[in-house]
Chain A
């Protein structure tokens, strides 16, 4: 019978992991781990539960950054006035995750380490240029979220490491964003999702564009092609069309019988076009 260990500190969890001779896994809310166990994809001898570790829970304003502990639940993020004030579109996207039950248990860190390209919020965090702090026996290291996603369900986290913190730089003024997804029904996985974050200068010229995609490829990803087209422009109608075309080329889709690739591409382009327009409009009306 496997062992279940509820850790009370990161140090203790790391030590427990290092002493395990069989296969050890980390669990936080359990919302993905239980699926993996049930599907037979994971068969652990030890589960180390990090959800009760207070040092990796909670949301903190540290000046230039907002730091979110990896074991913070989606419900806590959704209800956080701090997150809503700084990144309202991240709050909106979080409130679309599954339903309240899953948000009460599921954690930001669990969703990231899972590496599933179908999740709604990792692409939002990509548009925010988030960084991660990872602890191991030697100490801690930092990695850009963008470099964290390696392949289908594969991330840069190594055995014996724990994701501890998500660090999000506060946005410069004249910034705004929006996440839009097409789902078969509320709370379901998205067929396609696009997050757009724009930062304009005083003259309305786009100085930073970020376009994150849900289910656009093997990992949560950015369309750097579309970003490049948008940056340095006033985001006119024609620029948006060019950005959307390139976004279509950046996709690496897997088709299925209900939603073939050609259809998904149309959905992505349509969502992207509308989302870029919405963010631009929001920023114009703020100016």
Chain B
């Protein structure tokens, strides 16, 4: 068994798992990156969002066999040398987190959104985050945080 080669947050990993295993479960249980959360198990809630290249995907819907040659980024990969990313800091500054469980997914989706569109309108932020649910329903602060990170007044 040669295992599956993965590149996660710039680091190489080899895992010996079924190629049908969801990427999320490999991240959490085989590699130990538990910042990627699990909840609905059906591609609805968005807590398992990670980046493939610059694009956000739901890691519960990705068979890990598909990941060969992909650059995967999880929430653990956003901070550089102990410094939060602008967006992460913005979530803190804007008090955008209530229970916090959905926040890694929101930050990953918003990171992808801001790469694609660095100056989004409120409507574009809403659409960009429409694949993520916050059951504390703290959406207003989350949108504020993304606006703030984009250099707009929150």
**B132 and A99 contact, CB distance less than 8 A:** yes
In the complex, whether B8 has a CB less than 8 A from a CB of chain A is: no
Q: Which of B20, B49, B127 contacts A101 (CB 8 A)?
A: B49
- CB neighbours of B128 from chain A (8 A): 100
Comparing A2-10, A119-127, A152-160, the segment that makes contact with chain B is: A2-10
5 A-B pairs closest in CB distance = A99-B131, A4-B65, A4-B19, A99-B130, A101-B131
* Closest chain B residue to A38, Cβ basis: B41
Q: How many A-B residue pairs have CB under 8 A?
A: 87
Measured in the bound complex, the distance between the Cα atoms of B113 and A31 in whole Å is: 20
Q: Which of B19, B20, B57, B130 contacts A187 (CB 8 A)?
A: B130
**B43 and A102 contact, CB distance less than 8 A:** yes
Q: How extensive is the interface on chain A, given as a class?
A: 20 to 34
Chain A residues within 8 Å of B, Cβ to Cβ: 1-4, 6, 27, 30-31, 33-35, 37-38, 44, 47, 49, 51, 75, 95, 98-102, 104-105, 186-188
In the complex, whether B56 has a CB less than 8 A from a CB of chain A is: yes
**A101 and B109 contact, CB distance less than 8 A:** yes
Q: From residue B38, how far is it (CB to closest CB) to chain A in Å?
A: 12
Q: Which of A47, A51, A100, A186 contacts B109 (CB 8 A)?
A: A100
**A104 and B63 contact, CB distance less than 8 A:** no
- CB neighbours of B41 from chain A (8 A): 38
Measured in the bound complex, the distance between the Cα atoms of B64 and A4 in whole Å is: 9
* Additional 8 contacts, C-beta under 8 A, given A34-B60, A38-B22: A2-B19, A34-B22, A44-B20, A47-B63, A99-B131, A100-B56, A101-B43, A101-B109
